[in-house]
Structure 1
Amino acid sequence: MRLGTHLWRTLAQSVLLGTFCCACFVSAQAADAPPNVVFILADDLGFSDTTLFGTTKFYRTPNMERLAARGMTFSHAYASSPLCSPTRSSILTGLSPARTDITAPVCHLPVARTTATPGTSAGPNKKAILPNSATRLKTEHYTLAEMFRDNGYATAHFGKWHLGPEPYSPLEHGFDIDIPHWPGPGPAGSYVAPWKYPDLDPQTPDEHIEDRMAEEAVAFMEDHKDKPFFLNYWMFSVHAPFDAKQELIDEYKKRVDPNDPQRSPTYAAMIESMDDAVGTLIDALDRLEIADNTIIIFASDNGGNMYNAVDGSTATSNAPLRGGKATMYEGGVRGPGVVVCPGVVESGSRSEEVIQSSDFYPTLLELLSIQKQPQQSFDGISIVPALKGGKLDREAIFTYFPHSPGIPDWLPPAVSVHRGDWKLIRLFYNGDNGKHRYKLFDLKRDVAETTNLAAQYPDIVMELDAMIDEFLDDTGAVLPRPNPAFDPSKYDPSLEGKATLKGTAKKPTTKSKAKSPPADLVAGWQPMGTCRLSLEGGELVVHSTGGDPHFYTSLPKSAVVKDSSGQPLVLRFTMASDADDAGQIFWHEEGVAPSYFRDRSVHFNVAPDGQPHEYAITLTPKHPVVGIRIDPAGTAGVIRLSDIRLTTRDGQVLHSWEF
């Protein structure tokens, strides 16, 4: 049923009038009624995007604090994947994405595929062939919503879905109501009206979609307050596109600290609207006097988006965690988690137990004293012991992500295991001679994952890797496989970027003479000015003697997009520098003389603390970009760069440099 607030409310009231005596009976038995369940899932909300952990000074989330005061806050709440659709599939099924076969956020694509398939090929510069994710959540799964419906609950879904359009929409997976019935990966067009949902018109000229979704959810609660309901509110917030109420943006502009990695007024305004929606639901539960009989779960589908450019900066920061959305580091999979369950969970309590998205289904079964289906099994476990203040009897959790998005903190296709304080990431076939490569971290001592201990603790690597093998075998995961076409010479990034500048000299004219001839290219970059380049530990290292250090690369033909004229591009990279002064990016456009440098450039602030920071610099070319020059500093020092990507504004990778 795809109905707006007033229409389906009117129909519901008509039905209730016809069954008045029954409704009165249910109301009279309200004290013994099964608890309602409200599941709130934020999109791309990072660990440090709320005020629950003392990691932000910029964002304001008072309603999240209200929610936490009513229940238990988990400091180790993990999404089942660093991207959205896989995590959503795990919530609805209690299964790992390795078992649901949805391992990538591709459920909006036209092709309908309910199972993963092995990949068939990869370029000669790739060591592994990636599998193809399923693009739809198969209806054979007995979902959380179907369980609730079969046990007498009214069910409704509000907000983002991204598990497939009809016949794989919420209406085919156990939900009676689906608003706005939208299969896309984010909000339709914008957060603030006018938007582009086919079946949902704005009620006011500047209506915010989260305000509207909260209003629809409240109307559903009002019409079902006398019978148990399952309200699945999967927010669009705070996924791109980055859009917010102008008055909030203006307010946050006044509070920006340029030295704070969280400094986007637009993103902060998006966080506040997300938090307001949480408050709207809490207020409604209190007003309807059903809060004491309602379980609330709040989680995020993956880590915070650190890589898209917003307001001249990155969207957010997940510090102290490393990385963000689409990475296998902690910042990609760890976020806020809160569970409210009156009578079971102590108000204002906290837990350091490790929980994961696939745990919520079996947990709700235990809380509601409902038996699973005879043939039903879960990869998650019930976290009720933790909700009661105890420990969980689980050895490890696993995250399967056999993909390799072109973003900063890039990793090859991977799978990870958390056991106690240890975390092992296996990088499929990325080692020498076709072997796997490993990253081992002690999260208790190194939550930022700065030190790979794999070489120091080979026995632990072997133990955890054996657990990974068992997990992959048990789930029947469709795996990456070694690429027989891999050519080590093609993997060397120094072979890229040697194309000459079209219509110009082979080397750009700059105010400083190049110190090295083209033969001295390092990973595709030509050192120029007062610096030299080297490769160390997977990083491009710039040794600056001060003055005018800079280096240049030309893009291969495959990266020059002919229709990119006039379209903003974003140069993204991770950089650690102890050299002071601002940095500058220049770009070379097709058919334009190299003297363009003085006109086509953008400055950016550099943090000279020697620590890695993510940068996203927006370029505004008028013609296709064929070359990039980076001026990282103006003083002497050492600068380390990694994960350099040239992308479109929406994140599509045009070219990347691997070191």
Structure 2
Amino acid sequence: MTIFFCLRYLILSMTILSGLSCAVAAPRPSKPNVILILADDLGWSDTTLFGKTNFYKTPNIERLAARGMTFSRAYACSPLCSPTRASVLTGLSPARIGITSPGCHLPKVLLKATLGQKAPPNKKAILPNSATRLDTRYYTLAEMFRDNGYATGHFGKWHLGSKPYSPLEHGFQVDVPNWPGPGPAGSYVAPWKFPDFDPQTPSEHIEDRMAKEAVAFMENNQNKPFFLNYWMFSVHAPFDAKKKLIDEYRKKVDPKNPQRSPTYAAMIESMDDAVGSLLDTLDRLKIADNTIIVFASDNGGNMYNEVDGTTATSNSPLRGGKATMYEGGIRGPAIVAYPKIVQAGSSSTEIIQSSDFYPTLLDMLEIKPQRRQKFDGISILPALKGKSLNRNAIFTYFPHSPNVPDWLPPSVSVHQGDWKLIRIFYGGKECRHRWKLFNLKDDLEETKDISEKFPKRVHEMDALIDKFLLDTKAVQPKPNPKFDVSKYRPKLEGIAALKRSRKNQKQSPRKRSKPVAGWQPSGTCQLSIEDGSMVFTSSGKDPHASYVLPEEVSKETLTLHFKLISNSSGKGQIYWSEKGVVPAFHRDRSKLFNVHHDGKSHTYAIEFTAKNAVLAVRIDPSAGKGKVILSHIKLTGAGGRVAYQWQFREADRK
């Protein structure tokens, strides 16, 4: 009997403990998380994946490759960024969407491509006008994830339109830093020019910060499925990096190596560090085995901007780079990792394209597309399982002609196995098309046009192009009725106009505002210390300064006190940064206040309630030009307790 009761007590105790364990441990999501990392302008030879560089260092991208499958023939849907980004979110070709050039930051809103009206007399074709926004009628990848119970977050570059075409209108619940521009705002290293998104430390690197924000998103959503869309600013212009890294790479430059920009090498390292931060977090949170990771580039490496007295990078052995229809403009690195499906450390030579990611993720997650939803891409799940793809061809539509090295007139290309055909619209005689045919297996550098040697293959592959253009209803170039053969210079094809004015390309060193007494000023104002006060000298355009507190202040109702003298204009605003909340400074965590701009001293006390520990504060004392003097700044809590107080000494002048 005693044994019976002991056993019964033991079983009951184990049951209770088991129940307590379940109550304490939060359930892990059964659906896999998804992280999609899209690098900007990262070339095929810019990583160590293919053994084409000994200057750049990408150990974390190698770490990712060791977890999944590396594709050596991965293509962007366009040699420029916005069209490719639209293809990733919709699974459609830029030809169908109408976004064929990266003009999505421009003021004019065009939701559809239109026919151009004219062209200079030295051009054979009139170009179409690209759409400048991603229409919200498309059911995006983010909307699909959101509707299937995922937390959705976008971090980094967007370049598909500002509000009402921002990430927040395309299915993302979080958007940091909510920036519609073509690259980072002003610089990679703080101070930046992002509105309402300040650095947390002086000289903070934007990619370090983006990784930090992405990590916070993962931590906040670790117990439910999440879709993290991390579209890096790196390694797009402006060419800017951590000074210490630049100095280190400068010592390693080989003048004979076509990759010899220390600044670009430093940018690559910071990009790679960000990838490492995400991998470290997955491991720390123990969710790596339940996370799909996709890594790719939006187009080829930048071959034409001048950095450190040389080109930004080299895509050798590929021909051309960003903005060209050759392999260097559209081919880049790609990795897909998911332990439950993809063999670790595997590789594939199958041809994949950026429009494939959407249908592939649907297939991996066993989610059906919407009724009547159509894709130009295909699921590459068979390739991820080590099999061949049932794919006839891929197409790249680029009806534009930026004057960069290796440029071509408006074109469309088709890849079919080892063969690649480029059709140049109306580039031949008597307003006929012209073609270039390459066998990439024998001629990866695309130096031998064999179109005249294989006319049958040209005809067959060009018929595929016709079918593609018809199916996508692409707005195509048309013959220029005002073409003047006497003004046509065919020998200038492929010759960069930029080379003729290279002196004008050199970037002048960027002057950075230094923090004063720990306060980091915006780029539109200067700070100084005078007679125990902090002085803003503002050129307008939202002057402000932020301060990272040496210790976090517990969540409660707080009050920021200060005295202010101003001859500027506009309302004032304070912001506070909360632990675990992104972005650091946002209008939802701010308070407006009226400012007396009469040149007299006035006392202000701005009360706010923090839901989490406060990490930093920011003061926007005005909105216009002029001089503002702040003093007696302190942060108080309940009962007037001083949480932090600022004192400006003569030593802070420097």
**Aligned counterparts of 1:61 and 1:311: Cα–Cα separation in 2:** 21
Deviation of 1:351 after TM superposition, in Å, equals: 0.2
Report what 1:331 is aligned to: 328
Deviation of 1:394 after TM superposition, in Å, equals: 0.4
**Aligned counterparts of 1:621 and 1:24: Cα–Cα separation in 2:** 59
1:572 aligns with 2:569: no
- SS of the equivalent of 1:362 reads helix
The amino acid that maps onto 2:405 is: P
The amino acid that maps onto 2:499 is: R
- SS of the equivalent of 1:572 reads helix
1:380-438 Cα offsets, whole Å, 9 max, x none, are 00000000001000000000000010111110000000001000000000100100010
1:152-201 Cα offsets, whole Å, 9 max, x none, are 00000000000000000000000000000000000000000000000210
1:269-319 Cα offsets, whole Å, 9 max, x none, are 000000000000000000000001000000000000010000000000001
Deviation of 1:492 after TM superposition, in Å, equals: 3.9
Report what 2:195 is aligned to: 198
Report what 2:438 is aligned to: 441
After TM superposition, the score normalised by the length of structure 1 is: 0.72
1:285 aligns with 2:282: yes
**Aligned counterparts of 2:494 and 2:403: Cα–Cα separation in 1:** 16
**Aligned counterparts of 2:149 and 2:135: Cα–Cα separation in 1:** 23
- SS of the equivalent of 2:357 reads helix
The amino acid that maps onto 2:301 is: G
Deviation of 1:572 after TM superposition, in Å, equals: 1.9
**Aligned counterparts of 1:53 and 1:392: Cα–Cα separation in 2:** 22
**Aligned counterparts of 1:50 and 1:410: Cα–Cα separation in 2:** 24
Report what 1:360 is aligned to: 357
> In structure 1, which of residues 377, 397, 401 is the aligned counterpart of residue 398 of structure 2?
401
- SS of the equivalent of 2:499 reads strand
Deviation of 1:26 after TM superposition, in Å, equals: 11
Report what 2:162 is aligned to: 165
**Aligned counterparts of 1:400 and 1:313: Cα–Cα separation in 2:** 30
1:263 aligns with 2:260: yes
Report what 2:411 is aligned to: 414
1:298 aligns with 2:295: yes
- SS of the equivalent of 2:328 reads helix
1:486-531 Cα offsets, whole Å, 9 max, x none, are 01112148xxxxxxxxxxxxxxxxxxxxxxxxxxxxxxxxxxxxxx
CA contact (8 A) 2:406 2:494 kept: no
> In structure 2, which of residues 372, 376, 381 is the aligned counterpart of residue 375 of structure 1?
372
1:466 aligns with 2:393: no
Report what 2:454 is aligned to: 457
CA contact (8 A) 1:413 1:427 kept: yes
1:64 aligns with 2:61: yes
Report what 2:528 is aligned to: none
Deviation of 1:570 after TM superposition, in Å, equals: 8.8
Deviation of 1:617 after TM superposition, in Å, equals: 6.0
> In structure 2, which of residues 70, 79, 83 is the aligned counterpart of residue 73 of structure 1?
70
Deviation of 1:205 after TM superposition, in Å, equals: 1.0
Taking structure 1 as reference, are residues 91 and 25 closer, same or farther at Cα in structure 2, changes over 3 Å only?
A: farther
- SS of the equivalent of 2:113 reads coil
**Aligned counterparts of 1:436 and 1:282: Cα–Cα separation in 2:** 48
Report what 1:53 is aligned to: 50
Taking structure 1 as reference, are residues 413 and 106 closer, same or farther at Cα in structure 2, changes over 3 Å only?
A: same
1:577-611 Cα offsets, whole Å, 9 max, x none, are xxxxxxxxxx9xxxxxxxxxxxxxxxxxxxxxxxx
- SS of the equivalent of 1:374 reads coil
**Aligned counterparts of 1:394 and 1:345: Cα–Cα separation in 2:** 20
**Aligned counterparts of 1:264 and 1:618: Cα–Cα separation in 2:** 18
**Aligned counterparts of 1:359 and 1:26: Cα–Cα separation in 2:** 40
| Unmatched segments (≥5 aa) in structure 1 | 1-20, 494-534, 541-568, 574-586, 588-615, 623-659
Report what 2:184 is aligned to: 187
Report what 2:214 is aligned to: 217
**Aligned counterparts of 1:160 and 1:359: Cα–Cα separation in 2:** 21
The amino acid that maps onto 1:404 is: S
Deviation of 1:102 after TM superposition, in Å, equals: 0.4
Number of residue pairs matched by the alignment: 489
**Aligned counterparts of 1:226 and 1:343: Cα–Cα separation in 2:** 19
The amino acid that maps onto 1:189 is: G
> In structure 2, which of residues 80, 99, 117 is the aligned counterpart of residue 83 of structure 1?
80
The amino acid that maps onto 2:434 is: R
Taking structure 1 as reference, are residues 423 and 539 closer, same or farther at Cα in structure 2, changes over 3 Å only?
A: closer
Which residues of 2 match residues 304-315 of structure 1 at below 5 A? 304-315=301-312
After TM superposition, the score normalised by the length of structure 2 is: 0.73
Report what 1:154 is aligned to: 151
1:247 aligns with 2:174: no
> In structure 1, which of residues 222, 228, 232 is the aligned counterpart of residue 229 of structure 2?
232
The amino acid that maps onto 2:54 is: K
Taking structure 1 as reference, are residues 299 and 122 closer, same or farther at Cα in structure 2, changes over 3 Å only?
A: same
**Aligned counterparts of 2:87 and 2:333: Cα–Cα separation in 1:** 17
CA contact (8 A) 1:309 1:570 kept: no
**Aligned counterparts of 1:26 and 1:273: Cα–Cα separation in 2:** 38
- SS of the equivalent of 1:220 reads helix
**Aligned counterparts of 1:200 and 1:391: Cα–Cα separation in 2:** 46
**Aligned counterparts of 1:443 and 1:103: Cα–Cα separation in 2:** 25
| Unmatched segments (≥5 aa) in structure 2 | 1-18, 509-654
CA contact (8 A) 1:39 1:231 kept: yes
Report what 1:479 is aligned to: 476
The amino acid that maps onto 1:572 is: K
Taking structure 1 as reference, are residues 26 and 140 closer, same or farther at Cα in structure 2, changes over 3 Å only?
A: farther
Which residues of 2 match residues 421-570 of structure 1 at below 5 A? 421-492=418-489
Taking structure 1 as reference, are residues 488 and 256 closer, same or farther at Cα in structure 2, changes over 3 Å only?
A: same
**Aligned counterparts of 1:621 and 1:281: Cα–Cα separation in 2:** 32
**Aligned counterparts of 1:484 and 1:352: Cα–Cα separation in 2:** 44
Report what 1:132 is aligned to: 129
**Aligned counterparts of 1:26 and 1:310: Cα–Cα separation in 2:** 54
Taking structure 1 as reference, are residues 203 and 539 closer, same or farther at Cα in structure 2, changes over 3 Å only?
A: closer
**Aligned counterparts of 1:176 and 1:418: Cα–Cα separation in 2:** 37
Deviation of 1:375 after TM superposition, in Å, equals: 1.2
Taking structure 1 as reference, are residues 128 and 571 closer, same or farther at Cα in structure 2, changes over 3 Å only?
A: closer
1:275 aligns with 2:202: no
CA contact (8 A) 1:416 1:424 kept: yes
